[in-house]
Amino acid sequence: MAKMNMLQAINDALDIAMAENERVLCFGEDVGIFGGVFRATSNLQQKYGKARCFNTPLVEQGIIGFANGLAAQGSVAVAEIQFADYIFPAFDQIVNESAKFRYRSGNLFNVGGLTIRAPYGGGIAGGLYHSQSPEAYFAHTPGLKVVVPRNPHQAKGLLLASIHDPNPVLFFEPKRLYRASTGEVPEEEYRLPLGQAEVVKEGTDITLLAWGAQMEVLTQAVELAEKEGISCEVIDLRTILPWDVETVADSVFKTGRLLISHEAPLTGGFAGEIAATIQERCFLYLESPIARVTGLDTPFPLALEKEYLPDHLKVFEAIRASVEF
């Protein structure tokens, strides 16, 4: 075990993957000698050479198009998009190509070797274009997997699993935790399962569900709630697509209440999908409406970021409202 922050854990995962298999390549804007604007790919070019870790021209649609071809060829492509806000020029290559490559060819070809990493989320005074949480845009796309880690330990294990997964994976990294979140991380290789949520805390009165940086917010809200005697069960969804309905439903069968929280705007956010599914699965068990605590239905602001964000106080209030319903 070693103490690492999330960036170090990610760098470590990439290092292990590249050491183990020479077909693993890491590339993107500024990921070469510079190690990426957040330094997630530090030292990889130095260690594995320019052919395996390199800068690309500044063109996201090209990066992912290139990565799709590389993965189809049998390489293991780990492409970085500098900010999740800049993934949209590659939307066609991801949604029409990566996601449908295997299906449309009847499994003659596939891009299972593809992993796309991108820092996402707010809380860093980034305004509209350095704060977005675009997971829901991709979660409507069969064929993709979408993964979000909450801390360094999860980041390493989930990233290694994503790189090895035989399907294209979008790996969104909560950038406000890059340096803020630290913890013990095993030095050797390990993989955490994709498609499985994790119950990080058991409780009986209400189920709280989130992913990524929002897990920290839940934890703070739980502190407030438990002071008032509300027992919370807390789940980290971890994989947004395909998501683990069973674990969530089992919890709601038990608690009778569900709150889902994410930073992205309310309308069309992934909490909607979860609420729709769970109200159907657990209809007779629900003691109050499923609550969503999310960003506002606006672009991401700057000066009033604090007001915009679904912070622990908003979550706490929603917990109370749900329990008192």
Partner 1 sequence: MVSKTRKPKVVHKPAFTDGAEFSIATFQLLKQDGTLYKGAKAPDLEKDQALRIYRAMVYTRVLDERMLAAQRQGRLSFYMQCTGEEAAVIGSTAALDDADMIMAQYREQGALVYRGFTTDEFMNQMFGNEEDYGKGRQMPIHYGSSELNYMTISSPLATQIPQATGYAYGQKLAGEGHCTIVYFGEGAASEGDFHAALNMAAVHRVPVIFLCRNNGYAISTPAAEQFAADGVAPRAYGYKMDVIRVDGNDILAMFEATRQARRLAVEDNRPVLIEAMSYRLAAHSSSDDPSGYRSKDEEQIWRDKDPILRMKAWLQAADWWSDDDEKQLQENYRREVLETMKRAQKRPPPPLDSLVSDVYQEVTPELARQLDNLKAHIRKYPDAYPKTAEQAKGGA
Ligand X SMILES: Cc1ncc(C[n+]2csc(CCOP(=O)(O)OP(=O)(O)O)c2C)c(N)n1
Which spans of this chain sit near a second copy (rule: CB under 8 A)? 61, 85, 88-89, 91-92, 95-96, 99-100, 103-104, 128-129, 136-137, 139-143, 241-243, 264-265, 267-277, 279-280, 283, 286, 288-292, 296-299, 325
* Residue 175 contact partner, candidates partner 1, a second copy, ligand X, none, CB within 5 to 8 A by sort of partner: none
Element (H, E) at 118: strand 114-120
Instruction: Indicate which residue of 29, 97, 130, 233 is catalytic.
Output: 130
Taking CB under 6 A as the rule, does residue 132 contact ligand X? no
Q: Which residue has the tokens 């960003």?
A: 295
- How many Å separate Cα 204 from the centre of its chain? 27
Report the nearest approach of a second copy to the CB of residue 157 (Å): 25
All residues at 6 or more sequence positions from 88 whose CB lies less than 8 Å from its CB, including other chains: 60, 134
80 among known catalytic residues: no
**Residue with Cβ nearer ligand X (7 or 290):** 7
184 among known catalytic residues: no
C-alpha torsion 175→306→222→259, nearest 10: -90
Kindly tell me which residue out of 8, 45, 82, 151 binds ligand X, with binding defined by CB under 6 A.
82
Given the rule CB under 8 A, which of 21-29, 184-192, 196-204, 253-261 is the region that contacts partner 1?
21-29
* Residue 280 contact partner, candidates partner 1, a second copy, ligand X, none, CB within 5 to 8 A by sort of partner: a second copy
* Residue 72 contact partner, candidates partner 1, a second copy, ligand X, none, CB within 5 to 8 A by sort of partner: partner 1
Contact by Cβ (8 Å): 266, 273: no
All residues at 6 or more sequence positions from 252 whose CB lies less than 8 Å from its CB, including other chains: 207, 258, 278, 281, 282, 285, 286
Kindly tell me which residue out of 13, 14, 17, 29 binds ligand X, with binding defined by CB under 6 A.
29
Q: Which residue has the tokens 């089992």?
A: 250
**Strand blocks (E) in 175-265:** 182-185, 198-201, 206-210, 232-236, 239-241, 258-265
Given the rule CB under 8 A, which of 106-114, 182-190, 206-214, 281-289 is the region that contacts partner 1?
106-114
How many other CB atoms sit within 10 Å of the CB of residue 166?
10
70 forms beta bridges with none
Q: CB-hemisphere CA count at 13 Å for 3?
A: 4
How many other CB atoms sit within 10 Å of the CB of residue 184?
11
Given the rule CB under 6 A, which of 18-26, 82-90, 174-182, 268-276 is the region that contacts ligand X?
82-90
3 forms beta bridges with 184
Taking CB under 8 A as the rule, does residue 29 contact partner 1? yes
* Residue 46 contact partner, candidates partner 1, ligand X, a second copy, none, CB within 5 to 8 A by sort of partner: none
Q: What is the DSSP letter of 230?
A: -
Contact by Cβ (8 Å): 155, 163: no
**Residue with Cβ nearer a second copy (92 or 184):** 92
Taking CB under 8 A as the rule, does residue 58 contact partner 1? yes
Using CA atoms, how far apart are residues 152 and 156, in angstroms rounded to an integer?
A: 6
Given the rule CB under 8 A, which of 62-70, 196-204, 209-217, 255-263 is the region that contacts partner 1?
62-70
**Residue with Cβ nearer partner 1 (72 or 260):** 72
Taking CB under 6 A as the rule, does residue 58 contact ligand X? yes
* Residue 272 contact partner, candidates a second copy, partner 1, ligand X, none, CB within 5 to 8 A by sort of partner: a second copy
* Residues involved in catalysis: 60, 130
| Contact residues: ligand X, CB under 6 A | 29, 58, 60, 82, 86, 89
